[in-house]
């Protein structure tokens, strides 16, 4: 019963946000366009769950998430009425981010032979289904600001707010890419086997990749501001959702527990945790 309630909330909240954010009168396949896009995002996850459960594999979990971002964004562009270059730029940012991250995570999980997070999840149909449903919720909640802006038919001039958001996205994307590359190189070095990373951006923040992720989605939300009115402002939950999930639920807390299990008795690791910011990178 608890899992059922959780699933209903995980589906209901994103669908509610999407419906409130829909541009007035805009429909897709007979549904409010944003609602249809949200349902499509969940449908992709549930279809992908079937072979994933049959073969008890999570190897294409992250890749499916990235494909979903691209699919719903393409659908939004197709449904939009003569999207402007500013709206196309938002879509392009989603394509670039999703394509890069999906490819990176897909290669990483195959090189590692799997994702330890799913070891005790993929053996249970209900728990594994919840994981795929949560990915659908993640896609809808994070992309809702972008999709609302793309679907807007109101003529909107690009101003300072839009530019500020674009700069935030570029900065966040750059931080995330650099952090991922630094960690990949660190792990590829046999001399670092069994060690934690504390070099490069990782010497300035314990989770610079998550900082970049939060910043880029906040940038997308800021870029969407000129297109919002009325109940559409609900999409400002998007960056808050990203921040809450990564810092309070599944991101940092999970990695912190694993770090304590692996290096909790190491004085060097204890000093690293004590002296390095958890998220916001220090400048010096």
pTM, 2 dp: 0.94
How many CB atoms neighbour CB 253 within 10 A?
12
How much is the pLDDT for 125? Answer: 92
pLDDT number for residue 266? 95
pLDDT value at position 260?
95
pLDDT in tens, 201-257: 999 999 999 999 999 999 999 999 999 999 999 999 999 999 999 999 888 998 999
22 and 35 in contact (C-beta within 8 Å)?
yes
Low-confidence ranges of the chain (pLDDT < 70): 1
């Amino acid at each position: 019963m608890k899992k059922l309630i959780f699933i209903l909330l995980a589906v209901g909240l994103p669908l509610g946000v999407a419906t409130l954010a829909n541009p007035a009168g805009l429909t897709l396949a007979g549904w409010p366009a944003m609602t249809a896009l949200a349902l499509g995002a969940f449908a992709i996850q549930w279809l992908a769950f079937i072979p994933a459960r049959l073969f008890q594999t999570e190897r294409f979990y992250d890749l499916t998430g990235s494909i979903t971002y691209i699919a719903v964004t393409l659908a939004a562009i197709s449904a939009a009425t003569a999207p402007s270059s500013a709206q196309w730029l938002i879509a392009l940012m989603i394509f670039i981010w999703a394509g890069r991250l999906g490819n990176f995570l897909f290669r990483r999980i195959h090189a590692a032979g799997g994702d330890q997070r799913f070891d005790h999840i993929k053996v249970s149909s209900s728990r594994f289904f919840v994981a795929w449903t949560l990915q659908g919720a993640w896609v809808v909640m994070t992309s809702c600001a972008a999709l609302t802006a793309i679907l807007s038919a109101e003529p909107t001039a690009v101003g300072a707010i839009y530019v500020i958001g674009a700069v935030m996205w570029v900065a966040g994307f750059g931080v995330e890419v650099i952090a991922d590359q630094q960690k990949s190189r660190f792990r590829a070095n046999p001399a670092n086997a069994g060690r934690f990373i504390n070099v490069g951006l990782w010497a300035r923040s314990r989770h610079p990749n998550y900082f970049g992720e939060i910043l880029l989605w906040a940038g997308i939300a800021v870029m969407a501001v000129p297109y919002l009115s009325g109940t559409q402002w609900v999409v400002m939950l998007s960056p808050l959702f990203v921040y809450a999930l990564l810092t309070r639920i599944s991101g940092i807390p999970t990695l912190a527990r694993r770090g304590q299990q692996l290096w909790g008795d190491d004085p060097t690791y204890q000093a690293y945790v004590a002296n390095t910011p958890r998220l916001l990178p220090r400048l010096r």
